[in-house]
């Protein structure tokens, strides 16, 4: 048995997220189907993160055990040849037996893009949140700085979260101006369900003057979901990379 690491990119628009479900197409489901076909047995595929329905990835990572003898390029091309073109294996690598795509991950980085111009390009519409309103980037950055570090992010997830703890450490939370809007970059040791989208929705409310930075800080102590902004749409979110 050979342990394989895959680096993946996908357009999540047409999928019900990463994780296999009883109904609907998922990224993990499509990859498991193809890998099981190639290895002629059922494959268990582990992903670095469970991206939600409609969320994209440029650098998702997955791992699995392979019994058949494949060259890495041959394996990559065989997988891609059996997938729809909105999912692609960018690289296949041999990994140590101890490597696990989720457990071994040290840092994950997401980008949330907000398009603020009046008209969104048809080439970008699937990958941005179109928000036609001026945003105060200075106050957004002030609020973002309060979220960096180790905190209990219970206010930024769903009440039914199955995570053992809602404490996470955000290493970087940066807001970058772009020609058509802005991007929120966030790197952390892990994320709760909807956490990045809740942060994005909160910073948008700060940027439009409906929430104060003080209120965002209070949410970290009260752990009250009603103190922060709404969950931003999935289309603007992309998993950029996973570091090990």
The tens digit of pLDDT for each residue in 105-124 reads 999 999 999 999 999 999 99
Domain limits, the chain: 2-94, 107-243
Q: What is the mean pLDDT of the chain?
A: 96
CATH number of 2-94: 3.30.70.580
Please say if the pLDDT value at position 160 is more than 70.
Answer: no
Average pLDDT score over residue span 137-158: 96
Which of the following CATH numbers is that of domain 107-243: 3.40.630.10, 3.40.50.880, 3.30.70.660, 3.10.180.10? 3.30.70.660
Q: What is the pLDDT of residues 16-57, one digit of tens each?
A: 999 999 889 999 999 999 999 999 999 999 999 999 999 999
Same fold, 2-94 and 107-243: yes
Q: What is the pLDDT of residue 163?
A: 77
- Contact indicator for 171, 107 with CB cutoff of 8 Å: yes
Tens of pLDDT, residue by residue over 61-105, are 999 999 999 999 999 999 999 999 999 999 999 999 999 999 999
Q: Return the active site residues.
A: 52
């Amino acid at each position: 048995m050979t342990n394989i690491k895959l680096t993946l990119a996908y357009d999540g628009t047409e999928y019900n997220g990463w994780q296999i479900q009883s109904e609907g197409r998922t990224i993990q489901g499509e990859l498991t189907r193809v890998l099981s076909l190639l290895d002629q047995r059922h494959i268990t595929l582990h992903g670095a993160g469970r991206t939600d329905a409609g969320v994209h990835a440029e650098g998702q990572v997955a791992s699995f055990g392979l019994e058949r003898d494949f060259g890495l390029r041959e394996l990559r091309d065989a997988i891609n040849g059996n997938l729809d073109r909105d999912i692609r294996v960018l690289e296949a690598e041999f990994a140590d037996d101890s490597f696990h795509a989720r457990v071994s991950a040290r840092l994950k980085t997401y980008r949330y893009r907000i398009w603020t111009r009046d008209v969104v390009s048809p080439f970008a519409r699937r990958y941005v949140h179109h928000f036609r309103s001026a945003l105060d980037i200075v106050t957004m950055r002030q609020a973002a700085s309060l979220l960096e570090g180790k905190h209990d992010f219970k206010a930024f997830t769903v009440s039914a979260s199955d995570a053992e703890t809602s404490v996470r450490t955000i290493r970087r939370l940066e807001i970058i101006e772009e020609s058509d809007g802005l991007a929120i970059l966030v790197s952390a040791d892990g994320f709760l369900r909807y956490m990045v989208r809740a942060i994005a929705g909160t910073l948008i409310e700060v940027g439009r003057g409906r929430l104060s930075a003080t209120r965002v800080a209070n949410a970290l102590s009260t752990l009250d979901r009603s103190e922060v902004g709404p969950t931003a749409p999935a289309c603007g979110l992309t998993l950029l990379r996973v570091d090990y």
